[in-house]
Chains A and B, each alone.
Chain A
Amino acid sequence: MSLIYLDNAATTKISQRALKAYVGASEEYYLNPSASYKAARMAKERLEEERDYIKRALNADDKSTIVFTSGATESIQSFLLPLAKEKPGEIIATRIEHAATKEMLFSLEAFGWKIKYLKTKNGSVDISSLDELIGKDTRLVLSIHTSNANGNIQDIKRLSEKVRDYDKSLKHRILIFSDMVQSFEKIDIDLKNLDIDGASFSSHKINGPKGIGALYIKRPESFIPFSKGGGQENGLRGGTENLPGIISFAEAIREHEENKREKRERAKLISRTLREGLLNLKARLLTGECSSPYITSFSYKYPSEVTMRMLYDKGFIISAGSACSNNKKGSSEETYRALGYSSEDAKRAIRLSISDDTTLEEAKAFLKALGEI
Chain B
Amino acid sequence: MQKLYLIKLGEISLKKGNRNAFEKKLKENIKHKLKPYASRITTEKGREYLYVDSDCPDETVEKALSTTFGITGYARSYISEKDLKRIKESASECLDNSAFENKGSFRVAAKRSDKSFPLKSSELEIELAKVVSKRYPDLTVDLDNADYTLSVEIRDKAYIYSNDKKGESGLPVGTAGSGIALLSGGIDSPVAAYMMAKRGMKLTLLHFHAYPFTSEEALEKTKRLAAIIAPYLQGAKLYSIPFLKGQEHIKEKGIENEATLLFRASMMETTERLLKMLNGEAIVTGEALSQVASQTLKSMVFTDSMCSSLILRPLLGMDKEEIIEKAKRIGTYEVSILPFEDCCSAFSPKHPNTHPDLEEMREHYKKLEMDKYIDEALENMSVFSFDDKGRLYAENN
Name A's B-contacting residues (CB within 8 A).
302-303, 305-306, 309-310, 313, 323-328
**Contact B341 A325, beta carbon cutoff 8 Å:** yes
CB distance from B380 to the nearest CB of A (A): 15
Could you tell me if A302 and B346 are in contact, using CB atoms closer than 8 angstroms? yes
Q: Which residues of B contact A303 (CB under 8 A)?
A: 213, 343-346
Q: Are B339 and A328 in contact (CB under 8 A)?
A: yes
Residue of A nearest to B217 (CB): A325
The docked-state distance in angstroms from the alpha carbon of A92 to that of B324 is: 44
CA distance A327 to B218 in the complex (A): 13
Contact between chains at B211 and A325 (CB < 8 Å): no
Q: Which residue of A lies closest to B213 (CB)?
A: A306
B49 CB-CB contact with A under 8 Å: no
Cα distance, A305 to B345, chains bound together (Å): 12
A303 to chain B minimum Cβ distance, whole angstroms, is: 6
Q: Are B341 and A305 in contact (CB under 8 A)?
A: no
Whether a CB of chain A sits under 8 angstroms from the CB of B215 is: yes
Across the interface, name the chain B residue whose C-beta is closest to A313. Answer: B212
* Interface bits B200-219 vs A (CB < 8 Å: 1, else 0): 00000000000111011000
Chain B 329-343 residues near chain A, CB threshold 8 A? 337-341, 343
User: B344: which A residues are within 8 A, CB to CB?
Assistant: 303, 306, 324
Q: Are B340 and A325 in contact (CB under 8 A)?
A: yes
Residues B339 and A310 in contact, CB atoms below 8 Å apart: no
User: CB-CB < 8 A to B343: which residues of A?
Assistant: 303, 305, 324-326
> How many whole Å from A355's CB to the nearest CB in chain B?
26
Using A302-B346, A306-B346 as known contacts, say yes or no to A327 and B212 having CB atoms under 8 A apart: no
Residues in chain A near residue B212, CB distance under 8 A:
306, 309-310, 313
Provide the bound-state CA to CA distance between A325 and B186, in Å.
13
A281 to B337, CA, bound (A): 37
Least CB distance, A306 to chain B, in whole angstroms: 5
Closest to A302 in B: B346
- A349 shortest CB reach to chain B, Å: 16
Q: Is the CB of B341 within 8 A of A327?
A: yes
State the Cβ distance, B257 to closest chain A Cβ, in Å. 20
Complex: how many Å from CA A323 to CA B339?
A: 9
Q: Which of B215, B337, B345 contacts A309 (CB 8 A)?
A: B215
Decide if A326 touches B341 in the complex (CB within 8 Å): yes
Residues of B within 8 A of A (CB): 211-213, 215-216, 337-341, 343-346
**What 4 A-B pairs have minimum CB-CB distances, sorted nearest first?**
A309-B212, A325-B339, A327-B339, A324-B343
Closest to A310 in B: B212
B215 engages A305 (CB within 8 Å): yes
- Besides A310-B212, A324-B343, A326-B339, 8 other A-B contacts (C-beta < 8 A): A302-B213, A305-B343, A306-B212, A306-B213, A325-B341, A325-B343, A326-B341, A326-B343
Q: How far is the CA of A271 from the CA of B17 in the complex (A)?
A: 80
By a CB distance below 8 angstroms, the chain B residues around A328 are 339
21 contacts between A and B (CB under 8 A): A302-B213, A303-B343, A303-B344, A303-B345, A303-B346, A305-B343, A306-B213, A306-B346, A309-B212, A309-B215, A309-B216, A313-B212, A323-B339, A324-B345, A325-B340, A325-B341, A326-B339, A327-B338, A327-B339, A327-B341, A328-B339
* A312 CB to nearest chain B CB (Å): 8
Given contacts A302-B346, A303-B346, A306-B344, contact A327 B337 (CB under 8 A): yes
Inside 8 A of A324's CB, which chain B residues have their CB? 343-345
**B345 contacts across to A, CB distance below 8 A:** 303, 324
CA distance A323 to B344 in the complex (A): 11
In the complex, A186 Cα to B343 Cα: how many Å? 36
Chain B residues closer than 8 Å to A313, beta-carbon distance: 212
Interface centre among A309, A313, A328 (most CB of B within 10 A): A309
With a 10 A CB-CB cut-off, give which of A313, A324, A328 has the most chain B CB atoms: A324
Complex CA gap A325/B217 in Å reads 11
| Closest residue on chain A to residue B346 by CB atoms | A303
Q: Cβ of B337: which chain A residues have Cβ within 8 Å of it?
A: 327
CA distance A309 to B217 in the complex (A): 11
Residues of B within 8 A of A310 (CB): 212
Q: Looking across the interface, which residue of chain B has its beta carbon closest to that of A326? A: B341
In the bound complex, residues from chain B placing their C-beta under 8 Å from that of A323 are 339
Name the B residues within 8 Å of A302 (CB-CB).
213, 346
Alpha-carbon separation in the docked complex, A2 to B281 (Å): 47
Taking CB atoms, residues of chain B closer than 8 Å to A327 are: 337-339, 341
| Chain A residues with CB under 8 A of B346 | 302-303, 306
Min CB distance B395 to A, Å, is: 19
**Across the two chains, which residue of chain B brings its CB closest to A328?**
B339
Q: How far is the CB of A140 from chain B (nearest CB, A)?
A: 34
**CB-nearest residue of chain B to A347:** B345
Nearest B residue to A311, CB-CB: B212
B324 to chain A, nearest CB (A): 14
Looking at B212, B338, B341, the one whose CB has the most chain A CB atoms below 10 A away is: B212
Residue of A nearest to B211 (CB): A309
* Residue numbers in A under 8 Å from B211 (CB-CB): 309
Closest Cβ of chain A to B342, distance in Å, is 10
Q: When chains A and B are docked, how far (Å) is the Cα of A309 from the Cα of B212?
A: 6
Bound complex: CA A324 to CA B339 (Å)? 9
Residue of A nearest to B218 (CB): A325
Query: Which residues on B sit within 8 Å (CB–CB) of A325?
Result: 339-341, 343
Q: Taking the nearest CB of chain B, how far is it from the CB of A34, in angstroms?
A: 45
What CA separation (Å) do A323 and B341 show in the bound complex? 11
Most buried by A among B343, B344, B345: B343
CB nearest to A329 among chain B residues: B339
Closest B residue to A307 by CB, please name it. B212
Nearest-CB distance from B173 to chain A (Å)? 32
Min CB–CB distance A51 → chain B (angstroms): 43
The complex places the Cα of A326 from the Cα of B186 at a distance, in Å, of 12
CA distance A313 to B212 in the complex (A): 9
The answer for the CA separation of A367 and B338 in the assembled complex, in Å, is 33
Task: Please report the C-alpha to C-alpha distance between residue A326 and residue B343 in the assembled complex, in whole angstroms.
Answer: 7
A32 CA / B338 CA spacing, docked (Å): 45
How far is the CB of B237 from the nearest CB of chain A, in Å? 26
State the Cβ distance, B293 to closest chain A Cβ, in Å.
Answer: 15
Q: How far is the CB of A322 from chain B (nearest CB, A)?
A: 11
